[in-house]
Amino acid sequence: MKKVLTLVAVLLFAFTLAACQTDDDTVTIGANIYTFNDNFMNGVVRPELERYATEKGVELDVVDSEGSQATLNNQVDTFITKGVDVLAINLVDPAAAATIIAKAKDADIPLILFNKESTVAGAMDTYDKVWYVGTDSAEAGIIQGEMMVAAWQANASWDLNSDGVLDYVLLKGEPGHPDAEARTLESVKAFTDAGITVNQLALQPSTTWSTTEAAETMATWLSGSFGSQIELVISNNDGMAFGAIQAMTNAEVSIPIFGVDALEEALAKIVSGDMNGTVLNDGVKQAQATLDLAINAALGNDVLEGTDWVLDSATGTKAVRVSYVAVDATNVADFQ
């Protein structure tokens, strides 16, 4: 009888242990989007995060930080209190990376930053369980610039006053955001590198990157003293390009315009001729890489285990960078 009881006890212990192991094997991820109002982050990245999490069999809790770093800080505290296995964080303010990294480090929870890279020198080096998934910020500007230079050189009619000088306006996006700063620099630099003189008529920083604000800005520019001189609109994302196109339509003018992101609406506008080009910002791959690294980190594996992702060997950073691709009328069908 004693042997039977012992066997039952052993079986019960094994069953309980197995149940615990099943629970422990379910990776829980606390994630955020800096604002659900962002066309790219909420329309491309968030849906893929949720779809890929289901495919991978992990639990994903995604919250809206509503464009507030203070809100995000509180959300991270809540995730930590809940006991998530890993954090996947889209910073509101890239300069606040050190705060988020410190919270994760104190709680000994792995952290994947994505889409917005830390602008704080050395912040990533303070914790051995933090990685970044995003892009090479300069690459989008370089590719967009190369597209615009080729188009400008192929369309002499775009030089409205035939003075050989490109008169442009630029919708910049969020000041201090690495993507906004690098795209602004590199897209214009492509013209000067090609020996083309440029004249900036106006530039608008926008913390929202939004269609509505860009529409209002473009309408103001078009009705202003230099409105008839604008020869090119450079937009650092598609969302703002949509607003500029809306303003041009209302004013019954057509000016060449290029964006970044390759949203579905942008691809349709390239086909219709309302937009001249964009740059594929591959949110699907960025979302997948974010979860791949997060899951591996939560399980204590090498973050690249079982994946094709590579860490940025050029800069030696702990970053996976997804490449950009130029999209215009010649290849837009490949992305639809």
- pLDDT tens for residues 43-93? 999 999 999 999 999 999 999 999 999 999 999 999 999 999 999 999 999
What would the pLDDT profile of 207-216 be if each residue is shown by its tens digit?
788 999 999 9
What would the pLDDT profile of 170-222 be if each residue is shown by its tens digit?
999 989 888 899 999 999 999 999 999 999 999 999 878 899 999 999 999 99
Contact 118, 100 (CB under 8 A): no
Residue 150: closest CA among 46, 49, 258: 258
Residue 280: closest CA among 320, 242, 237: 237
| Residue ranges of the chain assigned to CATH 3.40.50.2300 | 28-134+282-322, 138-281
Distance CA 128, CA 154 (A): 50
- Mean pLDDT estimate for the chain: 91
Check pLDDT > 70 for residue 15: no
Residue 84: closest CA among 65, 63, 67: 63
> Which residues contact residue 261 at a Cβ distance below 8 angstroms, ignoring those fewer than 6 apart?
39, 40, 44, 237, 238, 239, 278, 279, 280, 281, 283
Distance CA 88, CA 175 (A): 23
Using 50, 70 and 90 to split pLDDT, how confident is the model at 316?
low
Contact 119, 95 (CB under 8 A): yes
What would the pLDDT profile of 127-147 be if each residue is shown by its tens digit?
999 999 999 889 999 999 999
Hey, what are 155's tokens? 């369309």
Q: What is the pLDDT of residue 207?
A: 78
Distance CA 121, CA 251 (A): 45
Residue 38: closest CA among 179, 154, 162, 143: 179
Residue 281: closest CA among 89, 34, 39: 39
Distance CA 116, CA 127 (A): 18
Distance CA 137, CA 182 (A): 6
Check pLDDT > 70 for residue 163: yes
DSSP structure class, residue 289: H
Q: What is the pLDDT of residue 137?
A: 84
Contact 93, 111 (CB under 8 A): no
Using 50, 70 and 90 to split pLDDT, how confident is the model at 42?
very high
Percentage with pLDDT > 70 across the chain: 92
Torsion angle (degrees, nearest 10) of CA 224, 229, 231, 235? -20
The mean-pLDDT minimum among 22-31, 51-60, 275-284, 327-336 falls in 22-31
Query: Which CATH number fits the domain 138-281, given the four candidates 3.40.50.2300, 1.10.10.10, 1.10.1040.50, 3.20.20.330?
Result: 3.40.50.2300
What CATH number has the domain spanning 28-134+282-322? 3.40.50.2300
Single pTM value for the model = 0.77
End-to-end CA distance of the chain: 71
Q: What is the pLDDT of residue 38?
A: 87
CA distances from 50 to 31, 129, 215 (A): 10, 23, 31
